[in-house]
Chain A
Amino acid sequence: MQQHTLRITAQDQPTVLERLLQVTRYRGFIVTGMTMFPSVDESVLDIELTVQSDKSIDHLHHQLNKLIDVSEISVNESDALKCRA
């Protein structure tokens, strides 16, 4: 199983985390870590989401990108590492 880190910039809506987690689970990824950084501009949230799956990260990347509240998303390739499990 591959582990990947996604960097996400989203509208700071009370609901955005729920949406991110719902899509992530539905598309077959397990969350192994999540950190949030409220940005200087309070309306925006920076999120680092670490996920694990045997599916291609591109699928999740594109599905999360469709969320209306997500304004930017990138896969941090250097973080990709092979899990032991």
Chain B
Amino acid sequence: MVSKKPQTGGAVLFNVLQQHGVEHVFGYPGGAIMPIYDALYDSDIKHFLCRHEQGASFSAIGYARASQKVGVCLATSGPGATNLITGLADALSDSIPVVAITGQVAMASMGSDAFQEIDIFGLSLACTKHSFQVRDVNELAGILHQAFAIALEGRQGPVLVDIPKDIQSALVDEPVDNVCIAKPTLVNPEDNFLLKNEPANVGTALALFNQAKKPVLYVGGGVGMADAVTELREFISVTGIPSVSTLKGLGAVEPTDKCYLGMLGMHGTKAANLAVQQCDLLIAVGARFDDRVTGKLAEFAPNAKIIHFDIDQAEINKRRKVDVSILGDLKVNLPALAIPLSIQEWYGECQHMRESFAWRYDHPGENIFAPALLKEISSTMAKNTVITTDVGQHQMWSAQHMSFDHPTNFLTSGGMGTMGFGLPAAIGAQISRPDDMVIAVTGDGSFMMNVQELSTIKRFQLPVKIVLIDNSKLGMVRQWQDLFFDGRLSETDLSDNPDFVMLANAFDIKSKVITKKEQVSAAINEMLTHDGAYLLQVKIDATDNVWPLVPPNTANDKMMEST
């Protein structure tokens, strides 16, 4: 409703957010954003007070990734704004639609090194898709509409809107209402990112596809972002093509598909890496030949011709020269190439690799084997459970040993590999999907990076489950020190960790520690059936490693499988 009262910039902000269907925002107040928080007081939008702006930014990301909506976070100027930067970088790297609102000092003080003034616009250039600084309250609504459109159109990403304090309290000439609009209007419909794909390319691609004897589908995060999971699965079922996935692509391919070989790359499965190294045609779908995927680039898929489906032209030929590119929306373009193939022999070989290199879970001794525990959680948890992870060994084990039936159910910091992601992302996911279970798989190092967010869980009584894989180490770095730095364990010991159970209890979170295999099943059951937040601390051997591992600057078929 448009009220008769004069409307401030702050009120305009929340009304426009509502026009875009925003119901929840994450943030932290401060001096230069007070008029906005004052307007929030009258708004129907629900604000979640996080305990660090970095937490707010990751919660916005988790919210966006779990629900495929735009995530929104708010911070004050100066240190509040700089605390958002890591989250913005993370969102840029994984193409997540986030709109970040920062307060700025009043216009008259800008450029004078005022209290809590930082050039957040300048800082944002390297870590956002686009950014705005509002200089006239009457332009605020239009800028916010553009921010939403830019965050969502083409390759998605984070957008920052910096709003000086006096603009937040200035009155607009024309008030705006808060009625949800169907779809954000594009900034400039003419330069739509959804490029028309060229018919000649489709022809060439079809010809390559028909000639291929050993094709492999290389599935990336773009599939989920394009909401093209159904189209991808249809493509696989029509073509019968063997597939592999990136970290961010996990969940796109049905995990039970007989010729799905799992994750490729540095910690990929043997089957996935061998199939890609042997294939004669690699079809990249919403993937970007990231260095963690390709290993030594010059020896990646050495016999393969490449067809690259993507929405971002800048990704074509960026790291690997392609034979054909199909630009545009995967939802539209994937079906164009779905033709039945006759590749029975290759299909058989891939299926054989899938079976003969399947994961093994034998692990001597009484101590808990994290891969087996994660697999058990994965097979016990309800369908549609959301898993978030932090970064390190536990992250790779989760990617390897848990299975997901949709990319919105596996949230991990891929491109940035940001420790501290897991807990706040789980909070965002839980808020966007209150009826689904959310489990954060974290490490003893990463957990401490945003541990303050336990307070957010407490305040909003969120039933987030936390599985803390505790090796008393910065395990992934320790593994590399052991393998590639002569075992010189520099600054990776965490044997003086706090008492995590006591820590959880301090936030009214039920908690338990387990150390032996025989305790695993009962503990998982207790956690999954507990009504409310729960932290399960799982002690494991400090020396357990993630296998396989493709050493740096090595071809993906030369993986190490143990020491």
Name A residues whose Cβ lies closer than 8 Å to a Cβ of B: 15, 18-19, 22, 26, 56, 58-59, 62-63, 65-68, 71
Contacts and interface: CB of A to CB of B under 8 A. Distances in A.
16 contacts: A15-B121, A15-B133, A19-B125, A22-B125, A26-B126, A56-B317, A59-B317, A62-B313, A62-B314, A62-B316, A63-B314, A66-B314, A67-B130, A68-B129, A68-B187, A71-B191
Interface in B316-345: 316-318
Contacts of A68: 129-130, 150, 187
Given A15-B121, A66-B312, A71-B191, A58 B126 contact: no
Given A19-B125, A59-B317, A68-B150, 13 more contacts: A15-B121, A15-B133, A22-B126, A58-B317, A59-B314, A59-B318, A62-B313, A62-B316, A65-B313, A65-B314, A66-B312, A68-B129, A68-B130
B122 interface: yes
Contacts of B150: 68
Interface in B108-152: 121-122, 125-126, 129-130, 133, 150
A80 B130 CA distance: 30
A15 B129 CA distance: 14
Nearest to A69: B130
Nearest to B312: A66
A26 B127 CA distance: 12
B202 to A, nearest CB: 21
A65 B187 CA distance: 15
Contacts of A66: 312, 314
Contacts of B126: 22, 26
Contacts of B316: 62
Contacts of A26: 126
Contacts of B125: 18-19, 22
Between B130, B187, B314, the greatest number of chain A beta carbons within 10 A of the residue's beta carbon is seen for B314
Contacts of B318: 59
Contacts of B317: 56, 58-59
A19 B131 CA distance: 10
Contacts of B129: 68
B434 to A, nearest CB: 35
Contacts of A18: 122, 125
A65 B313 CA distance: 9
A71 B249 CA distance: 32
A63 B358 CA distance: 41
A44 B125 CA distance: 21
Contacts of B187: 68
A19 B503 CA distance: 45
A75 to B, nearest CB: 14
A49 to B, nearest CB: 17
A25 B129 CA distance: 17
A63 B125 CA distance: 13
Contacts of B188: 71
A76 to B, nearest CB: 19
Contacts of A56: 317
Top 8 nearest A-B pairs (CB, nearest first) are A62-B314, A68-B130, A22-B125, A62-B313, A63-B314, A66-B314, A68-B150, A19-B125
A41 B435 CA distance: 54
Nearest to A27: B314
A52 B290 CA distance: 25
A70 to B, nearest CB: 9
A74 to B, nearest CB: 14
B145 to A, nearest CB: 13
Contacts of B312: 66
A73 to B, nearest CB: 11
Nearest to A26: B126
Nearest to A66: B314
A11 B314 CA distance: 21
B550 to A, nearest CB: 26
Interface in B299-318: 312-314, 316-318
A36 B133 CA distance: 23
Interface in B147-165: 150
Contacts of A58: 317
Between A67, A68, A71, the greatest number of chain B beta carbons within 10 A of the residue's beta carbon is seen for A68
Contacts of A59: 314, 317-318
Contacts of B121: 15
A22 B131 CA distance: 14
Nearest to A67: B130
A56 B199 CA distance: 26
Contacts of B314: 59, 62-63, 65-66
Interface in B53-109: none
Between B125, B133, B187, B317, the greatest number of chain A beta carbons within 10 A of the residue's beta carbon is seen for B125
Nearest to B321: A56
Contacts of A15: 121, 133
Contacts of B191: 71
A60 to B, nearest CB: 9
Nearest to B121: A15
A38 B322 CA distance: 38
Contacts of B313: 62, 65
B320 to A, nearest CB: 13
A62 B129 CA distance: 14
A67 B188 CA distance: 13
Nearest to B130: A68
Contacts of A71: 188, 191
A16 to B, nearest CB: 11
A56 to B, nearest CB: 8
A9 B126 CA distance: 21
Contacts of B133: 15
Interface string B389-423: 00000000000000000000000000000000000
